[in-house]
């Protein structure tokens, strides 16, 4: 394969063999150095916030149908960043750093044109299995997103299948009223393709759902190359209630998508979202000012080693961090004082999830989500 450095080809072949027979989470597999990313998985929730204007606009929708279309627009708008931007900027998908327990990623998107400030709080709430919790909030706009994510991986043929475990709840405070609306967001499954050639990339597959306390349900189905459209990164979304479809949106989530047939304004084939809309990267404190548990501070030596191809330094410091973690867990167990989460608490019965799941009982929508979730204090 052209993407694998010559001296690492044998290692890549061995790596592929090892994942073919591997069960468990990929985070614990040792990957060849050229496929290592210097970014920790705890940073990934930031993708949800990279279109702060679109997120801030949701609660301003004039009625529940418009608000659902705005939720869908924001959701679709995050997909390019979440799933294709990394392989566009670095040539291929890479293996992110596996966050340590309690690792934090804190950031914000500043206020611009009165949209209000959006803050991000992400915390690694479990190390084994890896689970990341996050909260993204814009108080001015009355929008909060809370969620958690974990991954279950399996290997099939030439692709890795990744099931996203977890869900997010978007909460709207409607302007001029005390009413709240909730949107339960489930997550699509991923396929990691291109492994054979040493240049992995993500494709989305299956369905995901956005179900609202308003009774509206959006069903998204994802297809890639070789499906009906023949185009990579494609999807179709239907917005409806009680089995009736109000609007259909179709196209490419990493490109342009349009209303199929009528749009709310009465036009036809109107553009719904154009993924070339610029993304705003989250701003974070410089590493020197970050706390001991903040991600870029925790991994600074490892990340620098990966970036400068000084893999020896990277792996030494990674081993140091992992040993320290093991010792910490032992000490905690011996002292009977388990690790305390900083921004989240474990909730056994997620009321919002239960409420929404009950509303949509009998529809496939809630099958993927699960009840336990970490929740902001």
Would you tell me which residues interact with ligand CLR (CB under 6 A)? 26, 31, 35, 44, 47, 82-83, 93-96, 149, 151, 162, 164, 190, 192, 200, 202
Distance, in Å, from the CA atom of 75 to the CA atom of 86, rounded to the nearest integer, reads 18
Which residue in 269, 228, 227 sits closest to 247, CA to CA? Answer: 269
Q: Which C-beta is closer to ligand CLR: that of 214 or that of 315?
A: 315
Q: Which C-beta is closer to ligand CLR: that of 35 or that of 369?
A: 35
- List Cβ neighbours of 213 (8 Å cut-off, separation of 6 or more): 180, 181, 182, 183, 355, 356, 359
Q: Which C-beta is closer to ligand CLR: that of 50 or that of 350?
A: 50
Beta strands in the chain (DSSP E): 36-40, 95-97, 104-109, 118-126, 131-138, 143-156, 159-165, 167-173, 180-186, 189-193, 201-212, 216-223, 234-241, 244-252, 256-260, 271-274, 344-347, 373-376
Which residue in 295, 297, 313, 293 sits closest to 305, CA to CA? Answer: 313
Q: How far is the CB of 235 from ligand CLR (least distance, A)?
A: 15
Q: Which C-beta is closer to ligand CLR: that of 147 or that of 305?
A: 147
Q: How far is the CB of 19 from ligand CLR (least distance, A)?
A: 7
Q: How far is the CB of 227 from ligand CLR (least distance, A)?
A: 20
Q: How far is the CB of 327 from ligand CLR (least distance, A)?
A: 26
How far is C-alpha 293 from the geometric centre of its chain's CA atoms?
Answer: 21
Structure tokens at 269: 């084939």
Inter-residue contact 162 to 192 (CB < 8 Å)? yes
Q: Which C-beta is closer to ligand CLR: that of 148 or that of 260?
A: 148
Q: How far is the CB of 198 from ligand CLR (least distance, A)?
A: 9
Distance, in Å, from the CA atom of 363 to the CA atom of 281, rounded to the nearest integer, reads 36
Q: How far is the CB of 43 from ligand CLR (least distance, A)?
A: 10
Q: Which C-beta is closer to ligand CLR: that of 43 or that of 137?
A: 43
Q: How far is the CB of 68 from ligand CLR (least distance, A)?
A: 21
Q: Which C-beta is closer to ligand CLR: that of 93 or that of 352?
A: 93
């Amino acid at each position: 394969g052209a993407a694998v450095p010559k001296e690492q080809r044998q290692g890549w072949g061995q790596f592929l063999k090892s994942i073919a027979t591997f069960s468990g989470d990929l985070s614990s597999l040792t990957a060849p150095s050229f496929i290592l990313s210097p970014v920790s998985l705890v940073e990934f929730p930031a993708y949800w916030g990279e279109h702060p204007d679109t997120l801030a606009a949701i609660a301003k929708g004039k009625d529940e149908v418009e608000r659902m279309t705005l939720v869908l627009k924001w959701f679709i708008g995050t997909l390019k960043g979440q799933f294709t931007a990394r392989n566009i900027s670095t040539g291929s998908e890479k293996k992110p750093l596996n966050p340590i327990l309690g690792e934090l990623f804190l950031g914000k998107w500043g206020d611009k044109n009165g949209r209000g400030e959006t803050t991000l709080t992400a915390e690694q709430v479990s190390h084994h299995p890896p689970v990341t919790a996050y909260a993204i909030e814009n108080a001015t706009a009355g929008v909060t997103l809370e969620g958690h994510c974990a991954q279950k991986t399996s290997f099939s043929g030439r692709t890795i299948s990744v099931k996203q475990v977890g869900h997010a709840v978007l909460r709207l405070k409607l302007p001029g009223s005390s009413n709240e609306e909730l949107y339960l967001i489930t997550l699509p499954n991923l396929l990691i393709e291109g492994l054979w050639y040493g240049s992995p990339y993500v494709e989305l597959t299956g369905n995901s759902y956005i179900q609202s306390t308003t009774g509206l349900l959006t069903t998204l189905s994802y297809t890639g190359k070789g499906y009906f459209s023949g185009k990579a990164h494609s999807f179709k979304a239907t917005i409806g209630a009680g089995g009736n479809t109000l609007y259909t949106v179709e196209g490419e989530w990493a490109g342009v998508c349009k209303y199929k047939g009528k749009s709310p304004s009465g036009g036809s084939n109107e553009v719904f979202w154009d993924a070339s809309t610029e993304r705003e990267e989250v701003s974070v404190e410089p590493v020197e000012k970050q706390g001991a548990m903040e991600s870029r501070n925790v991994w600074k030596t490892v990340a620098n080693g990966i970036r400068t191809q000084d893999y020896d330094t990277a792996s030494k410091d990674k081993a140091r961090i992992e040993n320290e973690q093991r010792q910490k867990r032992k000490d905690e167990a011996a002292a009977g004082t388990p690790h305390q989460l900083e921004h989240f608490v474990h909730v056994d019965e997620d009321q919002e999830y239960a409420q929404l799941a009950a509303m949509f009982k009998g529809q496939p929508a809630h099958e993927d989500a699960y009840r336990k979730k970490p929740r902001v204090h």
